[in-house]
A and B are shown apart, each in its own frame.
Chain A
Amino acid sequence: MPVLIPRSVDELVDIFQEHPTAKLLAGGTDYMVEVNLHGRKPETMISLRQVKELSEWSVRSTRRSITIGAGLPYADMEHGEIARLVPALAQAARTVGSPQIRAAGTLGGNLGTCSPAGDSLPVLAALNATIHVIGPDGNRDVEFSDFMIGVKKNSLRPAEFVHSVSMPIVDGWQGYAKVGTRNAMVISTASACLVRDSDEGIVSIALGSVGPTVIRCHGAENWLMKTMSLRAGSTLDPVVAQEFGQRVAQESRPIDDHRSTAEYRRHAVGVLAQRLLLRSFS
């Protein structure tokens, strides 16, 4: 029962191919809870701690996109250049757990676990992020909508891992909002990310913790884009914002569980959607 510690992406590919049933360990903030409290018995582990390439990030100005390594901790997204270029991701990062959790937890960990409550996931969905995956057969790109396929289920194939995530740098407003029992150290009971591309006049909204996967509300998005202009300089009728919230709530698919009821979640996510849309015009 070893812990394997590759030093480079190439070594990681080789080691994972040799041990395709091994578990990848990033920040450990989900996995170690399962070990400590839920009787999970680790067997072969592959640690990502020493694969420095996974913690890099870069901006392609020509393509107007940013690429963030799967191993970059949330603490590094909260402020600075990443926060300036992808403010919704920074807002989501700031709501993850506590400083201790944000120092360890990563984007790749959120994608690997694929919990509907993963805070970065609505942002990736609303931005149409592309997941760069590496495996025994080489590299492939997976759209976020094809990546998360169920509760804690993703479309990674055996011995594949998330290398990095690319998302566009959007002209306009973007924001993330979440409801939980308190401000710090809380797993969301409902969350939403809204991106308003005021250059193209496009809006997108994605919801967390109110369905088996992150939910993109295409119905509400299309309704809003038919109802009004979203380009820079346009104004928002509060009645439209209210109906947008109701339409978003209708597209959610929440359940009752230990954190909340379906009824409350549906209400809360509608309020979040309305609030985010109002903020995008303020």
Chain B
Amino acid sequence: MSINIPVSGQSNEIYSLRVNGQVHQVKDAWIGESLLYVLRERLGLPGSKGACEQGECGSCTVIVDSKAVCSCLVMAADAVETEILTVEGLGPDGALTDVQSAFLSEGGVQCGFCTPGFIVAVHHLLESNPSPSDDEIREALSGNICRCTGYGRILEAVRTVADQRRTNS
């Protein structure tokens, strides 16, 4: 059976999204709303940031079904029945993850706007590749733009986490 999700500006139809392990109801949404918009404006999850709204800056990066994607380019009503993971869901109970701590200790955060997207992208990279080369780090982060740090300290943060995880394992 196919499923049919009615979405309209006026109706009170509901669809649900599974975000960070919790099911959220989305009411009264317009069909054209991006996942980024719904996360921020309807579900109270403003960690993912919106800047370019066209998939170029990566500040809205989230994980959908184990893939890092730009949430601004996902139609929210099309993300039903997927597993969505946002920056808010990476650490237990709001605690910092090792990636977030390394960004702080290595100075990978300046204005901070791009940081949540980078954090999600780095978690995704290290899940699939625990010992990335510098080229692999640059490639994995090529869809995330930072205008403050010059990237050097961000790369250093990734190397630091990879080293820590190897030492601890």
Q: Which residues of A contact B (CB under 8 A)?
A: 1-7, 11, 15, 25, 27-29, 31-33, 35-37, 40-43, 45, 47, 49-50, 73, 75, 97-101, 103-104, 183-185
Contact = CB atoms under 8 A, between A and B. Distances in A.
Contact of A36 (B34, B61, B145): B34
A103 B68 contact: yes
A45 B1 contact: no
B79 to A, nearest CB: 8
Given A1-B6, A1-B31, A32-B72, A25 B78 contact: yes
B75 interface: yes
B55 A101 contact: yes
A184 B32 contact: no
Given A98-B142, A99-B139, A104-B73, A5 B5 contact: yes
Given A3-B31, A37-B54, A97-B55, A28 B142 contact: no
Q: Which 10 A-B pairs have the closest CB atoms?
A: A98-B143, A184-B142, A36-B53, A103-B67, A32-B73, A3-B77, A33-B54, A100-B143, A47-B78, A35-B32
B25 to A, nearest CB: 16
B21 to A, nearest CB: 20
A98 B7 contact: no
Contact of B73 (A1, A29, A42): A29
B8 interface: yes
B69 interface: yes
A7 to B, nearest CB: 6
SS of A interface (majority): mixed
A25 B31 CA distance: 12
A232 B139 CA distance: 35
A2 to B, nearest CB: 5
Nearest to B125: A99
A100 B5 contact: no
A230 B58 CA distance: 44
A28 B74 contact: yes
Contacts of B72: 32, 36
B34 A101 contact: no
Contact of A185 (B5, B6, B8, B56): B56
B121 to A, nearest CB: 8
Contacts of A11: 2
Contacts of B73: 27-29, 32-33, 101, 104
A98 B78 contact: no
Interface hub of B1, B53, B54, B58 (most chain A Cβ within 10 A): B54
